[in-house]
Amino acid sequence: MGVGSSLKVIGAGVAWRTAGVESAGRNLIQAFGSDDEQDRALAGMSIVKAGERSIGLIEKARSAGRLTPSLVRLLADIGSPKARDLLAEIATESGPLAAAAHESLKLMDQIDGLGA
């Protein structure tokens, strides 16, 4: 992959975080699922940094059947009430996505407990 690929992911991250460019969001989802570790990390950071905006992006990936356990886990990093609600919804299902949602909800509960 390399520098060129990483620059594309960084550019997509900026476009997604600052302007909500849908194609950039889709590119981030694609990069987050790639084999390149650096691209995955950059995409994941951008998805999380965009916060609430990325929840809709994750919901679209879910509707399209492209949701992965790793993508579900990013919701815990976003950490908002809306992210928690989506995790709770996914947790009612079965399989690896539900397991990732349960794990993420548990992590969010532990983080919330630290602030108490």
> pTM for this structure?
0.91
The residue extents of the domains of the chain are: 1-50, 54-116
Averaged in consecutive runs of 10 residues, what is the pLDDT profile of the chain (116 residues)? 84 96 96 95 97 96 95 96 97 96 95 76
Instruction: Count Cβ neighbours within 10 Å for each residue of 62-93 and write b for 16 or more, e otherwise.
Output: beeeebbbebbbbbbbbbeeebbebbeebbee
| Structure tokens, 33 | 């699922």
Q: Say what the pLDDT of residue 91 is.
A: 97
pLDDT recorded at residue 1: 52
Rounded CA-CA distance 112/68 in Å is 25
Residue 35 DSSP code: S
**Among 35, 41, 77, residue whose Cα is nearest residue 58:** 77
